[in-house]
Chains A and B, each alone.
Chain A
Amino acid sequence: MRTPAEQGLSGELKKLSATGGARIVALREAAAKAFNDNGLPHRRVEEWKYTDLRTLVREALPISTPAQSVVVEAHARLLVDTEVRRIVVANGAVVPELSGFADLEPGLSIQPLAQALAAGSDVVTRLGSLEPGRYDAVLALNTALAVDGVVIAVAPGTVIERPIHVAHVFSGKAAASFARNLVVLGEGASLTYAESFEGPEGAAYQVNSATEFVVADASSLDVVRVQEEGASAIHLSTLLFEVGKDVKLNAFGFTSGAAVSRTSLYARLIGADSAVSFNGALLLKDRQHADSTLFVDHQTTGCESRELFKHVLDDSSRGVFQGKIVVRQPAQKTDGRMMSRALILGDDAEMDNKPELEIFADDVACGHGATCGAIDDDLLFYLRARGIPLKEAQSLLVQAFVGEAIETVANDALRDALVERAETWLKARA
């Protein structure tokens, strides 16, 4: 039985874009076929056990149309005070008049995906090359339907000081928007990449975003994501990493938006001796549902991976963390640690943790931990005994709790902005 949403999406998949050359067209067709064959995942599909898209995505919305740049400008609020190079993507399409394509640092190239596809840019040969070898409905839809996004390439040895911020904004009537981004770092390059997502409170729009990161040997990449979609939105995103040797990669995600969100992260560690970390802070309330699913694949020796996720769950919200560290047989000397902690504030909140290890190498140090519970009464008492009101005391403790994850962001300006986002959330709560 196909759901109305699946039928609607299959309808959209009949009219695929023909740009980008034979390879890209074949990718789109294969993805569309995979979706038509397999449909949306449901709770019987292990990776989607806690996020049943067949019930959560009730209808397929029409694909979004470009928004007026004045409207977009009014809506783009996230990280506006931060010193960054901003590229604005509205309803899945780059808005050149709001984006900083001018005065690029030497060695840096930024272009809209639509333009790169039309021009047959070299860098596009990497598009789609990081897809995992198995069916992921969200990614398949993105591959089939996304026609624009941002393509960034940093030449070998180039250090880009100023962070690049891709601001995804949704405006207008409820629709589905798809964006595909590609970030390619040459050997020894360095970049801080931020992406944010926001949209109107009332509209039940859907966002499907995917970003591929090709991180070459000895390069250094910092990724910061802020997801503050409108309260009725559905946000589905996929992050794909291919990590070379001696790489330093640090990715952090802040989530407080959307009614339903899911972020799937796939990281393939193909070079030796790299250090990667994937962290997140999620602040949820009302009936929000947020799912973070990680798949870290250690394919070679000597890599270190760290994952730290902090959930704060108020009201009847639900947090889901699924993390899988795979250590393949050649990946000796792997050091992997995964930690998920949840602070449950609301009586009806729910946390589902599933940290997994799959290990085939014997000389490794891997571990995971997961905890969930309420705020420590002793700590609350300590603060209240000093005259701090309950809500404020809770706020302080929550700040300290998520602070540990936010601290992992290296860029000062972005970190400060994130701390401020967490404070805003807590203030709204009080």
Chain B
Amino acid sequence: MPAVQETVEQVRSIDVDQYKYGFFTDIESEKAPKGLDEDTVRFISAKKNEPEWLLEWRLDAFRRWQTMQEPKWARVDYPAIPYQELYYYSAPKQKAGPKSIDEIDPEILATYEKLGIPLRERDALLGIESTGGSRVAVDAVFDSVSVATTFKEELAKAGVIFMPISEAVREHPELVKKYLGSVVPVTDNFFATLNSAVFSDGSFVYVPKGVRCPMELSTYFRINERNTGQFERTLIIADEGSYVSYLEGCTAPMRDENQLHAAVVELVALADAEIKYSTVQNWYPGDSQGKGGIFNFVTKRGDCRGDRSKISWTQVETGSAITWKYPSCILRGDNSQGEFYSIAISNGRQQVDSGTKMIHLGKNTSSRIISKGIAAGRSDNTYRGLVSAHRKATGARNFTNCDSLLIGDQCGAHTVPYIESKNSSAHFEHEATTSKISEDQLFYCRQRGLDPEEATALIVNGFVKDVLQQLPMEFAVEAQKLISVSLEGSVG
């Protein structure tokens, strides 16, 4: 069923040409020399004042990366990335370690204000009070460094560690050493290995035993400098019986050249712990002719290491020229749970290849995948997912549902699920339905006096809700704005 006019217009309103966050902050920055060799790795490590073991870890990754091939299996097509033409480290110039928010370059503060991210706790409180929501602690990452982390003290009171990973390396080396690379090994894939060699900043979260993190944690990533790549690394550890909800947002200036973003996110949930990880990805998608935009090659993986642990990924993907991203769960602990909720929208000439992996290893593990893809313009939108049950994963359960919608006749929507069951008691269900609105539902609504458009909108709202309602309040609003698109006819 073709899209109705209203939908087409709504999609146009969020079209790539409408990118709001495309401004550039003119700020003096300090960069590593262009290109990538062992000296670049040493430079980054020295900049971050890292211990010897981490430098060795990076160098080992770099050496392995040189022997690896860029993966070609995804359904994305992009020009060769000039790895030697990029800057692997770029930081706004500032006095060493700002003590308080007032010492941060006002240009940067202004940038975040423009993006709607309050870095002053006072502002944050004011802003939030007026909307009546809860407070959110923010770690703001600008190019290669974290410029501010809010609510640190208050979190510390609860025992929660929330800081840039470069600081955590110095302050909590035992935790970092124990968990870094334990979910996404150094040699996991080409981009993860590159990240391991040159990662700059990102967030580190540790929630101690039995603690429910008192507020939402969030990181806001901003690429600003020209020709730089951003390689952030996030590590979240939820100790036994704890809970944390983490949000992530990203934007970048509009530029004609492509910029590389290769991040690694590792989540570790110990027994009875729960991690909820939400992303609103809004990197610059390039213009309508496909010029510019971020190449987003991200490795995100969660390890449900303990029994009864739970990891939930929610993502709203609207940006990036190329998206290559598969947030996954390793369900190692017995009775552990994994979830993946995704809305991926592609427009212009964007190419999205995203999905998830649910790897069932423990007994009675369960997973749920809900994916909604919307392709418009000349874009391609692919869902690629794996659900597998190991021989010992008795009682594994999975439910997968992926729907996609095409708006216009120049785009493509594709579904590539892999479902591998090695256990007779595993029960897997996969459906990629045509979510063409059922005639019955339409009839029901129209009987009650709604015109076809209204009826469609109503039903469609219910359709995306599956995913939207998984987002924390603070993000749901932003996400809704990004996708006020109706899905009245769709193809699996």
Contact = CB atoms under 8 A, between A and B. Distances in A.
B335 interface: no
Contacts of A354: 416-419
Interface stretch (A77-85, A192-200, A343-351): A343-351
Contacts of B422: 348, 350
Interface in A328-387: 329, 342, 344-374
A253 to B, nearest CB: 21
A75 B152 CA distance: 81
Interface stretch (B76-84, B196-204, B401-409): B401-409
Contacts of B407: 362
B111 interface: no
B436 interface: yes
A356 B430 contact: no
Contact of A46 (B73, B404, B412): B73
11 contacts: A350-B422, A352-B420, A359-B412, A362-B491, A366-B434, A367-B433, A367-B434, A368-B415, A370-B428, A372-B419, A374-B424
Given A367-B432, A370-B419, A329 B424 contact: no
Interface in B1-50: 1-3
A367 B492 contact: yes
Contacts of B424: 344-349, 374
Given A351-B420, A362-B407, A365-B436, 5 more contacts: A356-B415, A356-B416, A366-B492, A368-B415, A371-B430
B67 to A, nearest CB: 17
Given A364-B491, A368-B431, A356 B73 contact: no
A165 B427 CA distance: 39
B391 interface: yes
A280 B213 CA distance: 53
Contacts of A345: 424
Given A346-B424, A354-B418, A359-B406, A369 B413 contact: no
B461 interface: no
Contacts of B425: 373-374
A327 B431 CA distance: 18
A353 B434 contact: no
B209 interface: no
Contacts of A346: 424
A429 to B, nearest CB: 15
A357 B421 contact: no
A353 B419 contact: yes
B429 interface: yes
Interface of A: 46, 327, 329, 342, 344-374
B428 A357 contact: no
Contacts of B291: none
Interface in B163-222: none
A357 B419 contact: no
Interface in B349-405: 391, 404
B432 A357 contact: yes
B421 A351 contact: yes
Nearest to B397: A373
B264 interface: no
Nearest to A334: B491
Nearest to A49: B418
Contacts of A366: 434, 491-492
**Top 3 nearest A-B pairs by Cβ distance?**
A373-B427, A353-B419, A362-B406
Given A348-B391, A352-B420, A357 B492 contact: yes
B414 interface: yes
B432 A368 contact: yes
Given A367-B431, A372-B426, A357 B418 contact: no
Given A356-B414, A367-B431, A344 B491 contact: no
Contacts of A351: 419-421
A366 B431 CA distance: 11
Nearest to A376: B427
A201 B369 CA distance: 44
B7 to A, nearest CB: 11
A368 B492 contact: yes
B258 to A, nearest CB: 25
Contact of B491 (A329, A349, A357, A369): A357
Contact of A353 (B1, B409, B430): B430
A187 B491 CA distance: 33
A363 B1 contact: yes
A346 B423 CA distance: 9
Given A348-B391, A356-B415, A359-B412, A369 B432 contact: yes
Nearest to B428: A372
Nearest to A371: B429
Contact of B409 (A357, A362, A365): A362
B421 A350 contact: yes
A354 B433 CA distance: 15
Nearest to B435: A367
B415 to A, nearest CB: 4
Contacts of B491: 327, 357, 359, 362, 364-367
Residue from A329, A351, A362, A363 whose CB has the most chain B CB atoms within 10 Å: A362
Given A359-B412, A364-B491, A350 B420 contact: yes
A351 B418 CA distance: 10
Contacts of A46: 73
Nearest to B388: A352
A238 B432 CA distance: 27
Contacts of B427: 371-374
Given A366-B491, A367-B433, A371-B430, A361 B417 contact: no
B419 A359 contact: no
Contact of A362 (B2, B416, B428): B2
Contacts of B410: 329
Nearest to B413: A359
A363 B414 contact: no
Nearest to B429: A371
A358 B383 CA distance: 10
Contact of B421 (A365, A369, A372): A372
A346 B391 CA distance: 12
Nearest to B410: A329
A352 B420 CA distance: 4
A26 B419 CA distance: 41
A261 B458 CA distance: 49
Interface string B459-492: 0000000000000000000000000000001011
A178 B487 CA distance: 50
Nearest to A358: B414
Given A352-B419, A363-B2, A357 B430 contact: no
A361 B431 contact: no
Nearest to B407: A362
Contacts of A350: 420-422
Contacts of B3: 362
Contacts of B391: 348
Contact of B418 (A342, A352, A365): A352
A329 B426 contact: no
A355 B409 CA distance: 23
Given A365-B491, A366-B491, A374-B425, A360 B433 contact: no
Contacts of B414: 356-359
Contacts of B421: 342, 344, 350-352, 372
A353 B422 CA distance: 12
A286 to B, nearest CB: 15
A79 B92 CA distance: 79
